[in-house]
Structure formats: C-alpha cells, structure tokens
Chain A
Amino acid sequence: MTSWLLLAEAGAQEGGLFDLDATLPLMALQVVLLTFILNALFFRPVGKAVEDREGYINTSRAEAKSKLAQAERLEADLKAQLKDARQEAQTLVVNAEQEMDRLYRAALAEATAAANASREAARREIDAERSKAVAELDQQASLLSDQIVSRLLPTP
C-alpha cells in the first residue's frame, strides 16, 4: 500500500501526483474559453429570459394591483351610492306613508263631517215632518171631534 505514497513524494521516474507541466496553462485557457462560450450560450440568454419574466411578472402584478385598487374604489363608490339611494328610498317611503296618513285622516274627517251634517239635516227634516204631521193630526182630530159632537148633539 505504500507504493503510491512513496511515488507521491518521490516523483519516481516520470509523472507523479504533483507533476506540473503544460497541462496547467492549457487547462486555464480552456476554462477561460469555456467561460466565454457558456456566457454566450447559457448565462446571457437564460439570464435574459429569467429577468424578462421577472419584469413581466412584476409589471403584471403592478397592473393587477392597480386594477384591484380601482375595482375596490369603484366598489366603495357604488356602495356609497347604493347607501344613499337606499336612504333616499327610505325617506321617500316614510314621506309617502305620512302623506297617505294625512290624506286619509283629512278625507276621513271630511267624510265624517259630511255624514254628520247630512244626518243632522235629516233629523231636522224628520222633526219638521213629524211636527207638521202632529199638527195636521191635531187639526183633523179636532175637526173629527167637532163632527162627532155635532152628530151626537143635534144642533139646537
């Protein structure tokens, strides 16, 4: 098991673990080239795609947010209008009810007054008729009684 450890420090004939040669600069060159190639093929286009998407998402989000705010504002506006309309309707209904009540009362009062008046007039007429009838009756009674008397008691 010691052979490769020995080799690592001795570098025996040729090679060894720490054999530095032209591999080093060429590998460095290769990696630099790879950096440029990957930059052109990978980092730039993918970065652009990702950042475009991020931008798109951000603007869409902002747009959606402003739309949402607008919708909320509209909703609040409409709600306020609805509330106003409801209140107006309420007052209208109340007013109408009061008006109706008033009219009803007025009509009722008028009708009652008219009925009272006509009843009074009727009663008065009845009274007059009755008194007239009584007077006539009285008159006829006295006439009849006179006739009876004249019939029973021959005139001297």
Chain B
Amino acid sequence: MVPMPFAMPLLPLAELEVGQHFYWNLGNLKIHGQVFLSSWVVIGALLAVVVIGTRRLQREPAGVQNLLEFLWDYIRSLAREQIGEKAYRDWLPFIGTLFLFIFVSNWGGALIPWKLIHLPSGELGAPTADINTTIALALLVSLAYFYAGLSRKGFRYFEYYVEPTPIMLPFKIVEDFTKPLSLSFRLFGNILADELVVAVLAFLVPLIVPLPAMFLGLFTSAIQALIFATLAAYYIGEAVHEEHH
C-alpha cells in the first residue's frame, strides 16, 4: 500500500505505513518478519537484563537484582491475588512472561527509534501491534486456563459451566470465545492506535506536539500489559477455583 496521500518526501521519519508487512517465506508459509525481528530485540533485552541481574544472587540484593526482585514480587502479588494461594506458583512464570513480554514490547515499540532502520517493506514497531502476536498470546491464555482447570479438577472442571445454575451454560460457552477475542483485540487496538496517533501527530507537527501523546502512549502501554496479565491470571484463577458447597 502507498504511504499516506499527503506524505511529503521531506519527512521520511513520519511516513505512515499500515498493514504492510515484511514477508519471510518459510517453506510455503508466510510470516511477518518485522514482528519477529522486533520481538527478538525485545526478548534479547529481557534476557540480557535477567542474565545480568541473576548472575550473582545475594541475600542482600544489589544493582539489577533489586529490579528483578521488585518485578518478581510485583508479578507474584498479581498472580497470588488473582489465582489464589494454592495454585499461583504453577502459573507465576506464565503470567510473568506475559506481563514482561507485553510490557517490554509495548515500551520498546514506543521508545526504540525503529524508524531509523529501513526494511524493504513494512516497518518495525511493537510486536504487540500485530494481530498475530496478540491472538497468539490470547490463545495461549485460553489453553492455559483450560489446562489449569482440567489438570486441577479433571472433568469436574466442566461443572463450572453450570454453576450456579445450568442457565449459565450458553453464556459460559460464549465466554470461552469472547475471552481470547477481547484479550487480543484490546491489546492490539490499544497499541496500534497509540502508534498511529503518535505517527499521525508526528507526521502533521513533527515537534513537541506528539510528546504528550507519546507519554500517554507509555502510560497506556504499561496499563495494557498489566490488564492482559491480570485478566490472564483471573481466567486461570476462575478455572482452578474450588466451589465450596
């Protein structure tokens, strides 16, 4: 697709390209190369911090270990609050990975000057601004809560669908579809909209004016990561929750 109709060649940094992808062919499969490139940067940054911070774990934390412990504690309290004391340990790594991956993706998309790197087609940005990523994450959450419920309760898990009354059955079934749908589209829409707003503002007024939108974008990005992780934990918590008769 062509850049915006009134894109001036003077402002290559502010060009808008939406829906264009940098295709890689894997056999006869097509994948979005720019998503994987930026996600590798994100994962690399994450792993670098983690490896540096856990090299020498001490009883009295110093340096990056403090940051990691703060994150761990934050994620633990999130998981414990939503999943409950009994099962949260099994799911803490998953919730934590979702939170960290989404958070670093969102912030990376907003803070790293991707536009300086030119791809033959499409452009680099937050991996979470691609619908494939968000649907992948949301489907993982669906699988996770089904697995959590089935492994903890066996087939009694399906009692959840008829509680408190069998009238709930259709709603609960519909919920299984709306959960991943809302999770994925909420994240996708927020991050894409944030990138578009910043890009459009930067395209119209390249100085200062986009800054408030960028700050708002950082805020939204953090909130979205928190929302995604919290909801994922909540769904898992709902699946492993034991009714007390």
Contact = CB atoms under 8 A, between A and B. Distances in A.
Interface of A: 1, 3-4, 7-8, 11-28, 30-32, 34-39, 41-47, 49-50, 52-53, 56
Contacts of A13: 1
A38 B72 CA distance: 11
Contacts of A7: 1, 18-19
Interface stretch (B31-39, B149-157, B235-243): B31-39
Given A7-B18, A28-B139, A35-B93, A23 B47 contact: no
B221 interface: no
Contacts of A20: 131-132, 135
Contacts of B96: 38, 42-43
A1 B197 CA distance: 12
Contact of B76 (A3, A21, A47): A47
Which interface class (under 10, 10 to 19, 20 to 34, 35 or more) fits B? 35 or more
13 contacts: A3-B2, A3-B4, A7-B1, A8-B19, A13-B1, A15-B20, A19-B131, A30-B39, A38-B46, A38-B97, A44-B93, A46-B72, A49-B57
Chain B interface, >50% SS class: helix
B30 interface: yes
Nearest to A56: B59
Given A28-B139, A31-B137, A41-B47, A22 B30 contact: yes
B114 interface: no
A15 B21 contact: yes
A38 B93 contact: yes
Nearest to A6: B1
Contact of A31 (B4, B59, B136): B136
B73 interface: yes
Given A1-B4, A4-B19, A17-B131, A34 B29 contact: no
A57 to B, nearest CB: 10
Given A26-B36, A43-B72, A46-B69, 7 more contacts: A4-B18, A21-B31, A28-B140, A31-B137, A43-B93, A45-B57, A50-B69
A12 to B, nearest CB: 6
Given A42-B68, A45-B57, A34 B43 contact: yes
Given A38-B93, A47-B92, A49-B57, A27 B73 contact: no
B63 interface: no
B1 A4 contact: yes
A21 B132 contact: yes
A31 B101 contact: yes
Contact of B30 (A21, A38, A47): A21
Nearest to A40: B93
Given A4-B19, A28-B139, A39-B93, A23 B32 contact: yes
Contacts of B23: 14-15
A28 B136 contact: yes
B54 interface: yes
A27 B21 contact: no
A11 B20 CA distance: 10
A26 B132 CA distance: 9
Contact of A38 (B4, B19, B35, B50): B50
Nearest to B96: A43
Given A4-B18, A49-B69, A24 B140 contact: no
Contacts of A43: 72, 92-93, 96
Nearest to B129: A17
A42 B94 contact: no
B83 interface: no
A36 B97 CA distance: 9
A115 B29 CA distance: 138
